[in-house]
Amino acid sequence: MTVPMVLLPVFVLVALAFVLLLSLAPIRAAALRSGKVDVAAVALDDRQWHGRAQQFGNAFKNQFEVPVLFYALVALALITRQTDFLFVALSWVFVASRLVHAFIHVTSNNIGVRGPAFGFGVLVLAVMWIIFAVRILASA
């Protein structure tokens, strides 16, 4: 697989983080202007945000949890030349699960739907790591 084919899912996931961040800024600004949020409180504890500000903030923070394991895997797979069609296909499945998870997070925030979307993505990523580890260890 070519490097661009391997990195395109990464670029989409990074774009998701930026979209959430850029969406979060005006929502938080509006919350501050409304006077419903104590500036001193949110400066020390981001759990003090309420409603949409908290919802988007949580969705943004989620992009620095499980996806970090994906970024590390992609880097290691590129370095060790362990990328193939299956790797790229699973990367897209993982990224799709993250897009669905983020969409649910900032819309209905229905845990009954969001949880399975999250779990599915974690499962796909775990499979990717297992395949990678087996291939690396088998070649040693």
Residue with tokens 């969001």: 114
C-alpha to C-alpha distances, 111 to 14, 36, 81, 114, nearest whole angstrom: 24, 26, 38, 5
d(CA 120, CA 88): 17
Check residue 80 and give its pLDDT: 97
Low-confidence ranges of the chain (pLDDT < 50): none
pLDDT digits (tens, 9 = 90+) for 63-77: 999 999 999 999 999
The predicted structure's pLDDT at residue 116: 98
Task: Name the H helices within the chain.
Answer: 3-34, 39-44, 51-62, 66-79, 85-106, 111-138
Q: Let me know if 16 is exposed, middle or buried by CB neighbors in 10 A (0-12, 13-18, 19+).
A: buried
Q: Which residues contact 13 (CB under 8 A, 6 or more apart)?
A: 63, 67, 70, 71, 95, 98
Domain coordinates of the chain in residue numbers? 3-138
Return the CATH architecture of domain 3-138.
Up-down Bundle (1.20)
pLDDT at 47: 82
State the pLDDT at residue 42: 86
